[in-house]
Structure 1
Amino acid sequence: MPEITEDETFRHVDWYAEELADRQFVRCVFQDVDLTEAVSRGASFTGCTFGGVSFNASRHTDSAFVRCVFRRCNLFEAEFTGCKLVGSTFDQCELRPLRVAGGDWSFVALPGADLRGAHFADVRMREVDLTGANLTGATMTRVDLSAAQLHAVRFTRADLRGSDLTALDPTAVERAGAVIDAEQAIVLAQGLGFEIR
């Protein structure tokens, strides 16, 4: 059985390169914890709060961070593969260059986030809040952005091919040099009221 930890507070703990394996944390607080180069596989964090935590170069596979709050955390070169972050919030976090492959990031709050050069592929991000986020030069391929909040997002030179852009108002974002495919172009044209014949 996985080890389950509930309602605990961890302060100034050094978990550098820690193997979190399939541990489970519920309603725990992590304050100024060093998770640099930590590795998790099948770990679960539910309703946890991370403050000033270093996730630098950490690797997370098939893990869950559900309804968690990340405040002033550093995720430099962090990687999430097949992870579930549904309902989590990122506030004043360093997110570059984040890499996300697969998984479910629906209902995640990333307003104003600096995601320049970030890489998202095959991710479910339904109803994600990216209001005012900077995705300049980012890759967001085959991402489900249905019902996402995308007002004032900077998509300059971003690769958006294969993603669901039905929630995107091209007049309300910065889009110079952004790359889309032909099918997406039709969707966006129709959204602007053009008839495709």
Structure 2
Amino acid sequence: MPEVVEGREFVDEDWYGEEMVDRVYSGCTFRRVDLTDASTQRVTFTGCTFANVRFNASRHHDTALVRCAVERSELFDAEFTGCKLTGTTFTDCGTRPLRVTGGDWSFVSLAGADLRGVTFTDVRMREVDLSGANCSGATLTGVDLSAATLTRADLSGADLRGSDLTALDPSAVRLAGAVIDAAQAVVIAQALGLRIG
């Protein structure tokens, strides 16, 4: 069993390139920690705060950030594969270019985030908050966006094929140039009150 680190504060630490495996952090604070080029595997963060943390070019596999707060942090070129981020909130973060494959990002708040050109593939994002987020040119394929908050989101030019768009109100988002499949076209037409003959 991995050791559980509880309630510790890490400030101005250099974890550049560190390989973290089978660790557990609970209620910890990471402030101005450099995780550039770091990697995590089977690491769990629960109820932690990340403030001004550099996640640049970091790689995360089967890692969990549950009910965490990520504030004013940089995720340039970060990758998350099979990770669980349920209930985590991102505030004033640099999130481009971010790549997410698989995993569960349900109940995550990315409200107002700049997500231009990011990639989410086969990710569970039930009840995610993307209100006011700029997702133009993003790839959101095979994503479960059921019950998501999408008000004022910019999805123009985004690839949305295979994603659940049942929560989408076409009148409340920007969709110009977005790519969808035939089944999604039916869902959007119905949301507009159109009858399909």
Question: Taking structure 2 as the reference length, what is the TM-score of the superposition?
Answer: 0.99
What is residue 118 of structure 1 aligned with on the other side?
118
* Structure 1 equivalent of residue 143 of structure 2: 143
Measure the CA separation in 2 of the matches of 1:191 and 1:156. 18
Q: Name the residue aligned to 1:26.
A: 26
Partner of 2:108: 108
Aligned length: 197
Corresponding residue for 2:39?
Answer: 39
The letter for the 1-side match of 2:77 is E
SS at match of 1:125: coil
CA distance in 2, matches of 1:71, 1:12: 15
SS of residue paired to 2:100: strand
* Post-superposition offset of 1:34: 0.3
Aligned to 1:157: 157
Matched AA of 1:115: L
- Can you give the 5+ residue segments of structure 1 that lack an aligned partner in the other structure? none
Q: CA deviation at 1:3?
A: 2.2
Q: What secondary structure does 1:120 align onto? A: strand
Rounded Cα–Cα distance in structure 2 between residues aligned with 1:36 and 1:116? 21
Kindly provide the CA deviation profile for residues 7-27 of structure 1, in whole angstroms up to 9, marking residues without a partner as x. Answer: 000000100011111110000
Give the drift of 1:179: 0.3
Identity between Structure 1 and Structure 2 (%): 63
Letter matched to residue 97 of structure 1: P
- Distance in 2 of aligned mates of 1:96 and 1:141: 17
Q: Aligned partners of 2:132 and 2:191: how far apart in 1?
A: 21
Give a deviation string over 1:145-164, Cα, whole Å, max 9, x none.
00000001001110000000
> What's the secondary structure of 2:65's corresponding residue?
strand
Residue matched to 2:178: 178
Distance 1:135 1:191 in 2: 21
In structure 1, C-alpha distance between the alignment counterparts of 2:96 and 2:163, rounded to whole Å? 21
Deviation at 1:189, TM superposition (A): 0.7
Structure 1 CA distance, aligned partners of 2:160 and 2:170? Answer: 13
Q: Which residue of 2 aligns with 1:188?
A: 188
Give the TM-score normalised by structure 1.
0.99
| 1:78-108 deviations in Å (ceiling 9; x for gaps) | 0000000000000000000000000000000
Q: Quick check: 1:52 aligned with 2:52?
A: yes
